[in-house]
Structure 1
Amino acid sequence: MDPQNPMPLKTHLVSSTDSPEFTHLTTSLTRSTIIALDAEWKPLRSHHPTYPTVSLLQLACQLGHELAAGDDSVVVFLLDLASVPLPSIWVLLRDAFVNPDVLKLGFRFKQDLVYLSSTFSSQGCDPGFDRVEPYLDITSIYQHLQQKQHGKKTPKETKSLATICKELLGISLSKELQCSDWSCRPLTEEQKTYAAMDAHCLLEIFNVFRVKVIREGILVHSPSEPHPAIVNLGLKQVLEKLDICNKVVRMKFCEAVDMVRATDVSNDITTVEGTTIMTQHRNTQPMDEFLLKVVSRYGEKILLGESDKKAKASKRKGKRRSSVGFKQGHYFDDWKGPAPWDLTVGGDGHPKFLCDVMVEGLAKHLRCVGIDAASPYSKKPESRELIDHANRENRVLLTRDAKLLRYEYLIKNQIYRVKSLLKNEQLLEVIETFQLKVSEDQLMSRCTRCNGRFIQKPLTTEEAVEAAKGFQRIPNCLFDKNLQFWQCMDCNQLYWEGTQYHNAVQKFIDVCKLNE
């Protein structure tokens, strides 16, 4: 798998029910054995009394192996909920969410379902969505794989999707666009790629799980499990089988209802805001034996209660803020300076920043263009630690945390709130605000890992191999390329001018517009 382009995606943006993309979506939903789900919305302020409106629903469909092969077996649909009339797709999605023949994958999808239900209910699609089944959460898959590998359980909530992708797939899943404004149209190409990757990676993780359980023979039939063959029988034929009749009649009522629904192929007429929609409950191919066993052993369901569907207003009372140097809106003005490194205030003329955890991506970007950008010493520093660090080293503290701004009277002209959300835009904002000079010679001149400087003289391959012993592995493919190696003077990390280096240099030439 290529880390730079790990998953070439076949993606369709669905923005109209009259489009070929919508027809392709409806057809794919009937041919899919697995669907990965994700959703995007415009972030709201904390403790907002209403749920956010979902703007985009991603569905990554894995078609049955007998119907498609190779790259054509997976296709990702970006369903534009800001453009498509919601009543026209409500039944289609509701049936897909509860189709017993299709396994649904998600990453902590309950919150997404709550917001989806609220979004559709606000458009007259009442009741909104209340369940997804059969369902399998990626955190459960990860926990199972970790338990098999390390022999112990890991807490479900400790790993992000990006971390799981890095560990299981060996790819870096950027979350830079997660907080972008998904309600704006048209969507950028970067947003489309981000959204498609978020859904597609769920299928890739499931495939790792599939290979693992097949190789280890974990899913073998147990006498305590219902026999898979009964799922493909009608209810009458099931009851006629004496050896399993007793099991069936002792089923819970909800399970019996699910079986009846699974064998029902009749059409229903549904009316939503005067729109008549015909739907068929079962129009898909039944699951293969492997998926039946996966659902039987690991399957879950998401069920929303009435309390889930009602947004709760915040009970937190706003604290009265100090009148000393902290007035609403006062800190959102432009930087006034001078900066602590300014020669007029006794500085050394070299810009230096301290980036808190909310802008750690900005710190790496600043280092890539040769600017001194330190990180806090601890992973969860107290406000006073950040202030002392910035004061001690004459740095400007960069943050997106508005709470830190109340300390400006303690750290005058040494704190700046970054307004942009995306790293490239943050970089340009800081360069413009502080009138920084960036040249092509400065690019990639600092260690992105620790902010250290490189040694003045490059290392030969032999010197690099010696320096890397017991510390870092150098790929064998580099030995015959006669490359120069550079080493950080602080953390000893080795770098070389390979493809990633040249791509990064070109990226920052473009971002900083150095070729204009």
Structure 2
Amino acid sequence: MDPQNPTPLKTHLVSSTESPEFTHLTSSLTRSTIIALDAEWKPLRSHHPTYPTVSLLQLACQLGHELDSVVVFLLDLASLPFPSIWELLRDAFVSPDVLKLGFRFKQDLIYLSSTFSSMGCDSGFDRVEPYLDITSIYQHLQQKPPGKKAPKETKSLATICKELLGTSLSKELQCSDWSCRPLTEEQKTYAAMDAHCLLEIFNVFREKVIKEGILVHSSSEHHPPIVNLGLKQVLLEKFDICNKVVRMKFREAVDMVRATDVSNDISAVEGTAIVTQPRNTQPMDEFLLMVASKYGENILLGESDKKPKAAKRKGKRRSSVGYKHGQYDDDWKGPAPWDLTVGGDGHPKFLCDVMVEGLAKHLRCVGIDAASPYSKKPESRELIDHANREKRVLLTRDAKLLRYEYLIINQIYRVKNLLKNEQLLEVIETFQLKVSEDQLMSRCTRCNGRFIQKPLSTEEAVEAAKGFQRIPNCLFDKNLQFWQCMDCNQLYWEGTQYHNAVQKFIDVCKLNE
């Protein structure tokens, strides 16, 4: 299937306050009413006593209603002077004129605040408002029946993108070392897409809400436009002594004053999110105000959020059976269970657990038998028994699996690399696998099955796909060959995506050398 050709992202790496990119950033922040936020850092070991240092902050600024008006800024925090950008970011985080989007951004803000505090900005960041989490948008778009509670589990951003946008958001580089410089082009693209997709999801939500007229007159009854009110009325109407309401009314009053006299310098007031300089930003339109009122929330960090919690030791007793520390190491010593010298059939076979499921698809693309577990969350013993029964080597990144005492010699290998291409080369070199161009794309990437020996014509493929899979009409006049998996019946064809994949694995496996 041919992939869609999205408009290239307008991405700017900001590594100096003297650069044109920084000037473009400051200008865009004053013209944006929606900003998507994300951050990247070098992963730390679990229970590390300090917060990780944020290395990159992504700001996707939408300057209009269309996605082609989006500009993504990658703030290189390894190069930028923190005191010079702290106030700019703080003002953007608390500006009432800008709706901030994020995906579980509170954790990012905690790490970001810790990073800035450690670099001389004593107060760090303590809030983001108004804020809208993508999970809230997703739950609304699911159209749950009235009175039915949404499920407690929160889906990943990659899953949400797949369901709402129909595109795959690769998380392959999420755990890469973001502290290394220079950043690779792949890292820059990944980081930009992570922020940009939040705006894409919001625009899907915008279209649905406008089409259904859900928000019309829903919030205007409760929050009349401040331009029609006097200062006293803004402060007193529906007044509540609750501090939260006082801050909200005060902010509305200050906004009205700014609207009538832009030359005034509004000073900071304790307990409020008021900036110290006049803002040149444009107020949010009525739609965004209503969205923020109905679906928005605020991220507020307390003192407890700014201090890493001590690691808790779980008092579980280790079983005397089935667990033995240090039986395996990370190096493969062979022979593999498929080796002819130990009674195997000579055909390499692997079982890939969930931690290397991307590697499983890559192995299938180069014609290597790479099975997946039968269940979504298999027990360790279940994985090991599966591998033993089918004479497979279990591939994983879980070091704990190496410690089970009922492992048979040479039954498990811990993959060391993080990226799928590098993992593929690691496995090929470790097990001395032979890969040829004829093997490429000879297995079903969905289930690991083999293809039928004879290709199908277009007419045969249409018949085989009835009630199961839709073949795009644009393929009917291209005289393509179709291949069907013998196990799951999935149909494939030799379109642009196929040829691109073949060339990719020729390059990755260095088959031309």
TM-score (norm 2): 0.90
CA drift of 1:253 comes to 7.0
Counterparts of 2:273 and 2:84, CA distance in 1: 9
Counterparts of 2:127 and 2:96, CA distance in 1: 12
CA drift of 1:458 comes to 0.9
Counterparts of 2:419 and 2:490, CA distance in 1: 27
Write the deviation string for residues 369-396 of structure 1: whole angstroms up to 9, x where unpaired. Answer: 0000011100000011111111111100
Greater mean alpha carbon deviation, residues 241-250 or residues 86-95: 241-250
Counterparts of 1:58 and 1:221, CA distance in 2: 34
Evaluate the alpha carbon distance shift between residue 64 and residue 461 of structure 1 in structure 2; reply closer, same or farther with a 3 A threshold.
closer
Q: Which residue is 1:280 aligned to?
A: 277
Write the deviation string for residues 379-436 of structure 1: whole angstroms up to 9, x where unpaired. Answer: 0000111111111111000000011000265221010000000111100000000000
Write the deviation string for residues 9-33 of structure 1: whole angstroms up to 9, x where unpaired. Answer: 0000001111110111011111111
Evaluate the alpha carbon distance shift between residue 388 and residue 434 of structure 1 in structure 2; reply closer, same or farther with a 3 A threshold.
same
CA drift of 1:92 comes to 0.6
Contact 2:34 2:62 in 1 (8 A): yes
Counterparts of 2:303 and 2:272, CA distance in 1: 26
Greater mean alpha carbon deviation, residues 296-305 or residues 419-428: 296-305
Counterparts of 2:45 and 2:33, CA distance in 1: 38
Counterparts of 2:140 and 2:429, CA distance in 1: 48
Greater mean alpha carbon deviation, residues 315-324 or residues 9-18: 315-324
Evaluate the alpha carbon distance shift between residue 4 and residue 248 of structure 1 in structure 2; reply closer, same or farther with a 3 A threshold.
closer
Instruction: Output aligned runs, 1:407-446, within 5 Å.
Output: 407=404, 410-446=407-443
Evaluate the alpha carbon distance shift between residue 458 and residue 100 of structure 1 in structure 2; reply closer, same or farther with a 3 A threshold.
same
CA drift of 1:154 comes to 2.7
CA drift of 1:6 comes to 3.3
Write the deviation string for residues 83-123 of structure 1: whole angstroms up to 9, x where unpaired. Answer: 11111111110000000000000011011001101111111
Contact 1:262 1:282 in 2 (8 A): no
Write the deviation string for residues 29-60 of structure 1: whole angstroms up to 9, x where unpaired. Answer: 11111000000011111111111111000000
CA drift of 1:158 comes to 2.6
CA drift of 1:210 comes to 0.9
Contact 1:30 1:285 in 2 (8 A): yes
CA drift of 1:163 comes to 1.1
Contact 1:40 1:55 in 2 (8 A): yes
CA drift of 1:157 comes to 3.8
Q: Secondary structure at the match of 1:55?
A: strand
Greater mean alpha carbon deviation, residues 319-328 or residues 105-114: 319-328
Counterparts of 1:274 and 1:241, CA distance in 2: 21
Greater mean alpha carbon deviation, residues 444-453 or residues 321-330: 321-330
Q: Which residue is 1:452 aligned to?
A: 449
Contact 1:99 1:281 in 2 (8 A): no
Contact 2:2 2:495 in 1 (8 A): no
Evaluate the alpha carbon distance shift between residue 263 and residue 309 of structure 1 in structure 2; reply closer, same or farther with a 3 A threshold.
farther
Counterparts of 2:219 and 2:185, CA distance in 1: 51
Counterparts of 1:212 and 1:486, CA distance in 2: 38
Contact 1:91 1:279 in 2 (8 A): no
Q: Secondary structure at the match of 2:227?
A: helix
Contact 2:268 2:276 in 1 (8 A): no
Contact 1:352 1:373 in 2 (8 A): yes
Contact 1:440 1:509 in 2 (8 A): yes
CA drift of 1:227 comes to 3.5
Write the deviation string for residues 447-493 of structure 1: whole angstroms up to 9, x where unpaired. Answer: 11111111111111121112112211111111111111111111111
Structure 2: which 5+ residue stretches go unaligned? none
Evaluate the alpha carbon distance shift between residue 258 and residue 2 of structure 1 in structure 2; reply closer, same or farther with a 3 A threshold.
farther
CA drift of 1:333 comes to 4.0
Evaluate the alpha carbon distance shift between residue 293 and residue 263 of structure 1 in structure 2; reply closer, same or farther with a 3 A threshold.
farther
Evaluate the alpha carbon distance shift between residue 343 and residue 135 of structure 1 in structure 2; reply closer, same or farther with a 3 A threshold.
same
CA drift of 1:278 comes to 10
Contact 1:228 1:293 in 2 (8 A): no
Contact 2:231 2:253 in 1 (8 A): no
Percent same amino acid at aligned positions?
92
Q: Secondary structure at the match of 1:228?
A: coil
Write the deviation string for residues 306-342 of structure 1: whole angstroms up to 9, x where unpaired. Answer: 1111101211159898999988787454210111111
Contact 1:41 1:52 in 2 (8 A): yes
Counterparts of 2:244 and 2:26, CA distance in 1: 36
Evaluate the alpha carbon distance shift between residue 262 and residue 182 of structure 1 in structure 2; reply closer, same or farther with a 3 A threshold.
farther
Query: How many residue pairs end up in the alignment?
Result: 512
Contact 1:372 1:451 in 2 (8 A): yes
Greater mean alpha carbon deviation, residues 2-11 or residues 101-110: 2-11
Contact 2:218 2:290 in 1 (8 A): no
2:219 is the counterpart of 1:223: yes
Evaluate the alpha carbon distance shift between residue 493 and residue 116 of structure 1 in structure 2; reply closer, same or farther with a 3 A threshold.
same
